[in-house]
């Protein structure tokens, strides 16, 4: 008896058939394991990356297909390669970084090294040591390559497949789904941000929620109250083939006025007392000529392509065991977007935020020699306190008036100061930015710093706000002025490294 037949007997479907789903479908560990082999490693295509995430030869990104770790890499100027992120020798994790650039992938365990296409190139002590040991005489590196996966690109989206007999990607997507992806990615894009959230449920429950267009205007108060997406608008469902892929869509401009269910007050999501103090979040402009303002596309088994007005995103759902999953969000926009009056502050935010992220990361990763490079040659850096600012004291706890002084501070820290070994970890708050007429960007961001001592003791060390001036230079954005205003006037022991 086949394994499929055994599973069918063990999980009993109700008499109503596929219109009623047994709860065991979401909780059965054996079925979860079967899904990894027959589904994610079957004749389908799995989204793993956007081409602009790995633009240069050697750029790579690690991801998962189901719960199997994979690597996708730009292996030449016009091609990509992918392979399972496990060394062919003992199955050790090959690459731990999420992204980066390499000219080869070398396992840290036994130093087996592979090229960008996953071919084994070198083996440590292949011939043994002093004529003893080593690999057998008939050992061939070509017999021990990484498990290679197929890669195809569609509209800048990279998909991989374990099944080398799987149909071409566009055939797998089908004409309706392919047309919608072309619609969303008709122009070159840039990524605005990415994050993930862990959910304590079986991955299939979320994908079913994506297909359930009935719930949107019953559950989501903003959609219904502010007429973003309601069933009284023109819209519908588009299915491809057997229904594995789908699109649900609506056109906001066609709202018929609601009807009794929306206007009677009987729907929880219609809340007339819910108001916005700043309604700019609702501002939008025609993104596409077809008038569709809300479109959620599900690509089997676990990719969602999102358009909610002008909010564009990809969502990738990664199974994390039978009772968990991780939802990865990638927000994007095209490089030629219109309506600068609406986007001005957002554009500024998305240009400045990476500067702060890199600044904090430089300090946290103890790359202190690089820290002065975040500043102009003539600059002002100060650590002061809220109390000192209130009293207009001109002198702070730490103060430097040029990049040269910043370099001197780092040299002193490494060569002159004596202090207990310690590390910092910055926790960044909200960013507020505005541009002045002379091109200077004024920015403010809250922060907290955790200090980790050699003993392992970890504590909140500092909190405050940066009040900065940022300018454009040939090397990119740089700080002209950075003032760290601490909440407390009392500092524990001393401030050793930059803030």
Please give the residue range of the domain that contains residue 246.
177-338
Average pLDDT, the chain: 87
Structure tokens at 278: 């700043």
187-206 pLDDT, tens digit per residue, is 888 887 777 788 889 999 99
Do 112 and 156 have their domain in common?
yes
More confident residue, 343 or 212: 212
207-219: average pLDDT: 86
Indicate the pTM of the whole model: 0.68
Last residue within a domain, chosen from 315, 338, 361: 338
Band of pLDDT at residue 371, cut at 50, 70 and 90: very high
- Amino acid 2: pLDDT: 42
CA distance 382 to 480: 12
436-447 confidence digits (pLDDT tens): 657 789 999 999
Per the model's pLDDT, the better-predicted residue between 352 and 265 turns out to be 352
Could you tell me the CATH number of the domain that includes residue 103? 2.102.10.10
Per-residue pLDDT at 1 exceeds 50: no
Strands, sheet with 398-400, edge to edge from the N-terminal-most edge strand: 398-400, 375-385, 476-486, 458-473, 441-453, 422-435
316 forms beta bridges with 303, 328
Instruction: At 425, give phi and psi (nearest 5°).
Output: -135, 115
370 and 326 within one domain: no
Question: Order of strands across the sheet with 234-240?
Answer: 189-199, 325-334, 311-319, 303-308, 294-299, 245-251, 234-240
Domain boundary among 289, 316, 338: 338
Answer yes or no: is pLDDT of 216 > 60. Answer: yes
Among residues 306, 338, 370, which one ends one of the domains? 338
Instruction: Retrieve residue 345's tokens.
Output: 């502050």
Same structural domain, 135 and 69: yes
38: Cβ–Cβ under 8 A, 6 or more apart, which residues?
A: none
CA distance 249 to 183: 13
pLDDT value, residue 238: 95
User: 286 and 394, same structural domain?
Assistant: no
Residue 438's CATH number:
3.10.450.50
The answer to whether residues 388 and 466 belong to one domain is: yes
**Residue 499 domain-assigned (yes or no):** no
What pLDDT is stored for residue 7 in this prediction?
Answer: 47
Statement: residue 340 has pLDDT above 50: no
**% of residues, the chain, pLDDT over 70:** 91
d(CA 105, CA 120): 9
Decide: 470 and 355 in contact? Cβ < 8 Å. Answer: yes
Is residue 277 domain-shared with residue 364, that is, in the same domain?
no
For the segment 51-60, what is each residue's pLDDT rounded down to a tens digit? 999 999 999 9
Q: What is the mean pLDDT of residues 129-158?
A: 89
Q: What are phi and psi of 70, to 5 degrees?
A: -135, 165
- Tally of CA atoms within 13 A in the half-sphere of 146 that contains its CB: 33
Q: How confident is the model at residue 47 (pLDDT cuts 50, 70, 90)?
A: very high
Q: If you average pLDDT over residues 450-463, what whole number do you get?
A: 89
Per-residue model confidence as pLDDT tens digits over 266-287 = 787 787 877 666 666 678 888 8
Place of tokens 């946290």: 364
Residue 33: count of CB within 10 angstroms of its CB: 12
pLDDT of residue 221: 80
Q: Are residues 448 and 411 in the same domain?
A: yes
Q: Is residue 494 part of a domain?
A: no
Residues 24 and 52 in one domain: no
362 and 320, same domain (yes or no): no
Instruction: List, as own/partner pairs, every contact residues 89-95 make where C-beta atoms lie below 8 angstroms and the sequence separation is at least 24, other chains included.
Output: 89/144, 93/69, 94/146, 95/60, 95/62, 95/71
Say if 351 falls within a structural domain. Answer: yes
Mark whether 63 and 193 lie in a shared domain: no
Query: In the prediction, which pLDDT does 346 show?
Result: 62
Q: Confirm whether 289 is domain-assigned.
A: yes
How many domains does the chain fold into? 4
């Amino acid at each position: 008896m086949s394994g499929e037949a055994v599973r069918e007997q063990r999980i009993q479907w109700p008499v109503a058939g596929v219109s009623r789903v047994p709860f065991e479908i979401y909780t059965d560990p054996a079925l979860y394991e079967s899904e990894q082999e027959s589904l994610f490693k079957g004749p389908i295509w799995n989204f793993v990356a956007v081409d602009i995430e790995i633009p240069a030869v050697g750029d790579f990104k690690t991801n998962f297909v189901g719960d199997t770790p994979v690597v996708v890499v730009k292996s030449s100027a016009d091609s990509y390669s992918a392979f399972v992120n496990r060394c062919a020798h003992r199955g050790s994790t090959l690459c731990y970084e999420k992204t980066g650039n390499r000219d080869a992938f070398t396992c840290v365990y036994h130093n087996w090294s592979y090229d960008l296409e996953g071919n084994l190139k070198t083996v440590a002590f292949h011939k043994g040591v002093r004529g003893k040991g080593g690999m057998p005489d008939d050992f061939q590196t070509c017999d021990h390559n990484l498990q290679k996966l197929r890669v195809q690109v569609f509209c800048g989206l990279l998909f991989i497949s374990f099944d080398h007999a799987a149909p071409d990607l566009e055939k797998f997507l089908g004409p309706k789904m392919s047309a919608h992806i072309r619609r969303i990615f008709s122009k070159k894009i840039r990524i605005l941000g990415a994050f993930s959230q862990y959910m304590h449920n079986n991955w299939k429950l979320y994908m079913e929620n994506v297909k359930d267009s009935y719930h949107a205007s019953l559950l989501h108060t903003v959609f219904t109250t502010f007429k973003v997406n309601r069933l009284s608008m023109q819209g519908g469902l588009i299915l491809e083939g057997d229904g594995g892929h789908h699109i649900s869509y609506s056109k906001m401009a066609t709202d018929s006025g609601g009807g009794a269910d929306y206007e009677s007050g009987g729907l929880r999501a219609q809340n007339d007392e819910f108001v916005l103090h700043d309604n700019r979040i609702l501002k939008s402009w025609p993104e596409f000529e077809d008038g569709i303002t809300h479109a959620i596309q599900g690509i089997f088994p676990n990719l969602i392509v999102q358009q909610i007005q002008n909010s564009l995103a990809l969502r990738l759902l990664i199974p994390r065991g039978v009772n968990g999953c991780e939802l990865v969000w990638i927000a994007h926009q095209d490089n030629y977007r219109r309506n600068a009056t609406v986007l001005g502050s957002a554009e500024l935010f998305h240009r400045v935020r990476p500067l702060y992220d890199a600044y904090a990361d430089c300090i946290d990763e103890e790359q202190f020699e690089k820290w002065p490079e975040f500043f102009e040659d003539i600059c002002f850096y100060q650590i002061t306190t809220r109390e000192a600012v209130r009293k207009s004291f001109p002198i702070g706890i730490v103060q430097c008036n040029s990049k040269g002084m910043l370099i001197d501070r780092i040299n002193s820290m490494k060569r002159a100061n004596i202090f207990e070994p310690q590390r910092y970890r910055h926790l960044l708050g909200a960013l507020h930015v505005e541009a002045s007429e002379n091109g200077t960007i004024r920015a403010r961001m809250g922060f907290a710093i955790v200090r980790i001592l050699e003993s392992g003791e970890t504590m909140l060390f500092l909190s405050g706000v940066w009040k900065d001036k940022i300018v454009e230079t040939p090397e990119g954005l740089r700080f002209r002025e950075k003032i760290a205003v601490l909440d407390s006037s009392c500092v524990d022991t001393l401030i050793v490294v930059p803030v």
